[in-house]
């Protein structure tokens, strides 16, 4: 399970900071993340960490369809997982300026500024005085998805053309398409050696789209 702070929104101005619970992480200013006072003690600290999601889906579904006409066949496999949350750590590198020598995402162009106070992207700064890389819902995303895992087209060559051997030509595409609201590359987040748990996206290589052609021969 994911355990962390709840990022409510960004501080709009100094007046909102003055009328909000104190964040006991350091200094902060307008444009920084405002966290929720979960236990209501007037101070936001480690005791306000709470359950913020799970990397495990609430439901997984698969559907296999196959049809044929004369010597032609077509097979499709669909897969879906619903309700899981991914910890998108890549957002620390793409949404914040203090993360090092990494490319930023284009959405940082819409970051908070006095002229853009309603933005959801924190103010660009080289300092991390508010410790905004700590675990919070800012990095948690719904990773529900619907995928077409594979599409295979086949053709059985008539036996009178193959000296009574059975031969099937086929062409297949794997990882055909993905429907998801996840902003990362792949909502499945394949396991990576530098991650010791599922559901953390640190920029692992996504599942590739693969094209195959071949022939099956039965003698």
pLDDT in single tens digits along all 219 residues of the chain: 899 999 999 999 999 999 999 998 888 999 999 999 999 999 999 999 999 999 999 999 999 999 999 889 999 999 999 999 999 988 888 888 776 677 788 888 899 999 999 999 999 888 888 888 899 999 999 999 999 999 999 998 887 776 777 888 999 999 999 999 999 888 988 665 555 578 888 887 788 899 999 988 887
> Given this model, what pLDDT does residue 143 score?
94
pTM of this prediction?
0.82
Three-state DSSP at 155 gives strand
Burial of 187 (0-12, 13-18, 19+ CB in 10 A): buried
Q: How far is CA 44 from CA 5, 47, 128, 130, 191, in A?
A: 9, 7, 17, 12, 33
Nearest-CA neighbor of 170 among 75, 81, 93, 91? 75
> Which pair of structure tokens corresponds to residue 117?
């106070």
> Given this model, what pLDDT does residue 154 score?
94
> Given this model, what pLDDT does residue 195 score?
56
> Given this model, what pLDDT does residue 218 score?
80
> Given this model, what pLDDT does residue 99 score?
64
Residues ≥6 apart with Cβ < 8 Å to 135: 2, 3, 4, 5, 49, 52, 87
> Given this model, what pLDDT does residue 173 score?
97
Answer for the pair 37, 44: CB distance below 8 angstroms, yes or no.
yes
Q: What is the separation, in whole angstroms, between the first and last Cα of the chain?
A: 53
């Amino acid at each position: 399970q994911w355990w962390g702070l709840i990022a409510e929104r960004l501080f709009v101005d100094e007046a909102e900071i003055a009328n909000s619970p104190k964040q006991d992480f350091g200094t902060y200013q307008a444009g920084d993340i405002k966290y929720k006072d979960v236990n209501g003690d007037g101070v936001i600290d480690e005791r306000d960490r709470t359950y913020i999601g799970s990397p495990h889906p609430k439901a997984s579904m698969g559907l296999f369809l196959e049809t044929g006409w004369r010597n032609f066949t077509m097979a499709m496999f669909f897969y879906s997982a619903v309700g899981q949350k991914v910890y998108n750590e890549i957002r620390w590198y793409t949404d914040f300026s203090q993360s090092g020598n990494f490319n930023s995402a284009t959405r940082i162009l819409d970051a908070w500024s006095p002229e853009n106070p309603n933005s959801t992207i924190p103010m660009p700064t080289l300092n991390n005085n508010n410790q905004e890389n700590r675990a919070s819902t800012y990095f948690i995303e719904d990773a529900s998805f619907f995928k077409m895992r594979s599409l295979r087209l086949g053709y059985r060559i008539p036996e009178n053309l193959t000296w009574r051997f059975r031969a099937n030509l086929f062409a297949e595409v794997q990882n055909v398409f993905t429907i998801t609201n996840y902003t990362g590359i792949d909502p499945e987040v394949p396991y990576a050696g530098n991650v010791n748990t599922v559901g953390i996206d640190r920029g692992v290589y996504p599942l590739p789209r693969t094209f195959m052609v071949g022939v099956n021969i039965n003698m």
